[in-house]
Amino acid sequence: MRVVSWGILFLTIVSTTPADEATPGDHAWRAGAATVKITPERPLHMAGYASRKEPAEGKQQDLFGKALAIQDSAGNSVVLITLDLIGVIAPLRKAVETQVAEKYGVPPRSLLMNASHTHCGPAYARDDAKDYFDALTTKLVSLVGEAISDLEPASLAYSSARCSVAMNRRTPTATGFRNHPNPSGPVDHSVPVLSVRDEHGELQSVVFGYACHNTTMGFRYWLGDYAGFAQQYFEADNEDVMAMFMMGCGADQNPYPRSELKYAEMHGRSLATSVEAALEFNQSKPLHQRQLSGYIRTAMGTVDLEFEPDDRPDFPYPVQVIRFGDDLMLVALGNEVVVDYSLRLKEELFRPDGPSVWVAGYSNVYDGYIPSRRVLLEGGYEARSRPWKPELEERIIGKVHALVAETAKD
């Protein structure tokens, strides 16, 4: 396998060729994908709900880790990993990024790890799950190698649709904010989609996002929840295509209705259908596929978030920006981020002739909620998670803008 550079490089020409009119000369990219089953092979405790004291009883659906490696015409690359897990705990991120850098030359800024936040996955941070953690690490490192080895000429496009599975879960009452469906609360119903086609124009992979908790079910069976079903249904309907789910800023969003498996299946079907709508299936001439061109530019850093009171050390909060030329910019935020961040960043970063903006949460670290200033001052479940100082929102937004400026430099 040839050695490649994984650094920040610069923009070339912007293509507006529709996906169905692409020619072999348009394929300046190379892409490779791989998937691995990460369903626990023995009973483990489950993550997400402390009330479940007993291990899982079995599986309703397999859990997966998936990787997509993308390389530009200058050999600069990025790797996206998505996981059917509660989150990316810091030890997992550190173990995977260290080994991936050593084995494949992928620096941390070019590796994005995102978890679907399913509440029907393993509590793999527990001491009694160390064997699972070690096996998971090995699988994910090998997964990256498989994706890189699979690099082939490809074209990339960005598109989006909408899906109404999510509803804000913060309802104001006389005694404070209650965790209850609020049809008037802020939501982000966008479904961003990155599609990968081979040199013949055949769809190979899709990465799609949505901002909503994967909490339809809380039983004791392994399940990817609505996101797992969305991937399963899309892959069943599109043979030999790998579907990856990237969690958005859904910390204050829940799928409704809940608590019955049929709803997880229905929500998954709705989301899979939205992905097909974004790809303009069965349209004679797609008009909304933004072809990606140019160079990959990546940047990553941390911003210190302060606790109230000051008797706790600052939290090094990770922020990552991945830019595909001047066509698509992916902002990855750590922890459980409320929807305000996505709505604000997409508004502040929007430029009529600039890149489309995709904001993901639950990326690269999982360690509690990140409320906005509004949510923090209002109170409620998301605000009580960590005693942050109200300045956290401006610090995070400021760091995003700094990294966006860094990746925009010529």
Who's near 313: CB < 8 A, 6+ residues apart?
none
The DSSP secondary structure of 170-199, one letter per residue, reads EEEETTEEEEEEETTS----EEEEEEEEET
Distance CA 8, CA 78 (A): 10
Strand locations in 22-135 (E): 29-37, 58-59, 64-71, 77-83, 111-115
What confidence score (pLDDT) does residue 12 get? Answer: 30
If one counts the domains in the chain, the total is 1
DSSP state of 363: B
In this predicted structure, the answer to whether residue 152 has a pLDDT above a threshold of 50 is yes
Q: How far apart, in Å, are the Cα atoms of 159 and each of 134, 259, 281, 328?
A: 37, 32, 12, 10
Could you read off the pLDDT of 220-261 as tens digits, one per residue?
999 999 999 999 999 999 999 999 999 999 999 999 999 999
The DSSP secondary structure of 310-349, one letter per residue, reads TTSPPEEEEEEEEEETTTEEEEEE-SEE-HHHHHHHHHHS
Could you read off the pLDDT of 167-215 as tens digits, one per residue?
999 999 999 999 999 999 999 999 999 999 999 999 999 999 999 999 9
What confidence score (pLDDT) does residue 2 get? Answer: 36
Q: Are 338 and 64 in contact (CB under 8 A)?
A: no
> Which amino acid appears at position 22 of this protein?
A
Name residue 290's beta-bridge partners. Answer: 158
Q: Are 274 and 340 in contact (CB under 8 A)?
A: no
- Residue numbers of the domain that contains 86: 1-410
Strand locations in 123-273 (E): 152-162, 166-173, 176-182, 190-198, 203-210, 221-222, 242-247, 253-255
Average pLDDT of the chain to the nearest whole number = 93
